Amino acid sequence: MMDSATADENYRKIFVSSSDQDEIREALSNVSVLTDKESVKKATGILKDDKADPGLRVLALYKLAHAIASDKNLILYVLRLLKNKNLPGDIRKAAFSCIQSIRFSSPVIASVQTQITDIFKGLVEDKNQKIREDVISYLAQEKDEYVQRKLLEGIHEPAKALLPEEKAIHLLGYDIHAGIYPILRNIVEKSSNNYSRMEAIHILGSEPDAKDLLLKVYNNKKERYGVRKNSLMALKTYHPEEFNRVATSTAVDDQENPNIRAISINALAHSNNESSYNNPDITEHLKKIGRKVGSAVLKKALDYYLTNQGQKQN
């Protein structure tokens, strides 16, 4: 039986020498990343051939990742593929994925960073939803001011929204300096979009003045589970004393939603604060109710808390 190194070499040879499209496709599908000159040259030719089958071009792009990562001109070519709205979506998406991937490995990526940013910014209103979302996500993660402007515009004027509101809020949340807290408060207090509210409450945690709102939301037992959970976690990260108080109260509240209780106990057990993870009142109560607990997740949280009593935090 042929070993894999030999098989790969065979596929490479076929790829380089064949002119039959099916043979080329099969060889390209099976060969590993192309690194030798001949294969790279042929694959680049396929990639740059506007008349070639889109699927084959995508395959060539995928196998050329290593060559692209070391070649500024090829990177720029891939960017042009992404920018070209007349190309099939698959090629453009593969181009985006290629750029994302080579950011982890390319020694020359910095030299084309401005072109990448320029082209990505030009695509924030692209008709292809996946591409639009992907470039907006990338730019938002880089705290780009243009994309922040566009996202905010979409929140204020829904007709201009590039993404659903909750996604826009989520992406704005990458920048604590984005100045969006007043908008988030408004959304939590007034919006009927619970996904937006979940995002907003999570991000509001980093705003010190939002403490009372977080407490109000959490203490409302009729509030949606995801919103309450996020408010509890936000309290934990930013207002540890208030968190300790409300989570302790929840942990011993037998009338509380078991999932919320489980999360509270879980959060207390993993807290940095000894009065949270080593609380005698909680311990006593949990020991008392231990066997009677019906909910599996609550039982698990309870067991963890009791098992880890007294374990020293670092």
Partner 1 sequence: MGTGAAINPSNITDEEELASFVDDIKKSSGTGYKLLPLLKEQHPMYDGKSANAVTRMRGYIMQAFWLTGLPDEALIYVYEELESDREAYLVAAAAIALRGAKTRRFEMASYVLTAIHNIKFYDKPISFERYTPKWPLRKYTTAIYELIATLNWLGCYAKPYLADLAELKLNADHSLGKRAISLLGKAIQSIGNDDTVVDTGCCNSENSCRKFNPGEILDASTLKHKVANVCLEDHEGQKLPFKDAFTQKYTLVAFFYTRCDNPLKCSLTISNMANLQKLFSEEGLSQQINLAAITYDSNYDLPFRIKIYGEARGLKLNESARMFRVTSGYKTLKQYFDLGVNYTGEVVNRHIIELYLLDEHGNISMSFQRQKIDNQDIISHIKDVLSTKKGEGIKRSRLKIAWQNFSSIVFPTLVLFLPKCPLCFAAYFSLLGITGMQLLPYAKFVFPIIILIIGINLYSIFRAAKQRNGFLPFYLCAFGALLVLLFGHFILNKYGMYSGLFLLFTGSVLNSLPFMAYLKLKSRFFSLS
Partner 2 sequence: MNLEFAINKKTKGPYYIGYAPVACTLKIKDGAAGSPPVNITLSNNTRKGGQIEFYKDLNSREADTLTLPVPGDGKVLSFFIGGKFQAPSTEDGDAAINFVNNGNSLKIVPLMVRVRKDANNLTPGERDRFLSAFVKFLESGRYKNFLDMHNAAASPEIHGRSSFLPWHRMFVLDLERHLQAIDASVTIPYWNFQHPAPNVFTLDFMGRPSSTGVSALQFNSSNPLVNWHISGAPQLVRTPEFDTLTDKANVESETTTLRRGPNFEDFRVMEGNPHGSAHVSFSGNSPITNVTIAPRDPLFFMLHSNVDRLWATWQAAGNANDRIDPTDQEAYFFQGDAGAPGAQRIGDNVDDTLWPWDKDKARPRPHTAPGGTMINSPFTAFPGKTPKVSDAIDYQGKTNKQNLLFDYDTIPFIN
Name the residues that contact partner 1, by CB under 8 A. Answer: 72, 107-108, 110-115, 117-118, 121-122, 124, 143, 145-146, 148-149, 175-182, 206-209, 238, 240, 272
Smallest separation, CB 17 to partner 1 (Å):
34
Q: What is the dihedral of CA 265, 266, 270, 276, to 10 degrees?
A: -10
Choose from partner 2, partner 1, none: what does 183 bind? Cβ within 5-8 Å by kind: none
Which residue blocks in the chain are alpha helix, DSSP H?
Answer: 4-17, 21-30, 37-47, 54-63, 65-69, 72-83, 89-102, 113-122, 129-141, 145-156, 165-172, 181-190, 194-204, 211-219, 225-238, 240-251, 258-269, 274-277, 280-289, 296-307
Distance from C-alpha of 264 to C-alpha of 162, rounded to nearest angstrom: 36
Name the residues that contact partner 2, by CB under 8 A. Answer: 4-5, 8, 32-33, 35, 65-66, 69, 96-97, 100-110, 133-135, 137-138, 141-142, 166-167, 169-171, 173-174, 176, 195, 198-199, 202-203, 205-206, 226, 229-230, 233-234, 236-238, 258-260, 262-263, 266-267, 270-272, 297-298, 300-301, 304, 308, 313-314
What's 290's DSSP letter? G
Query: For residue 237, which amino acid is it?
Result: T
Indicate the angle between helix axes 211-219 and 194-204, nearest 10 degrees: 130
Choose from partner 2, partner 1, none: what does 171 bind? Cβ within 5-8 Å by kind: partner 2
Smallest separation, CB 99 to partner 2 (Å):
9
Smallest separation, CB 48 to partner 1 (Å):
19
Smallest separation, CB 188 to partner 1 (Å):
15
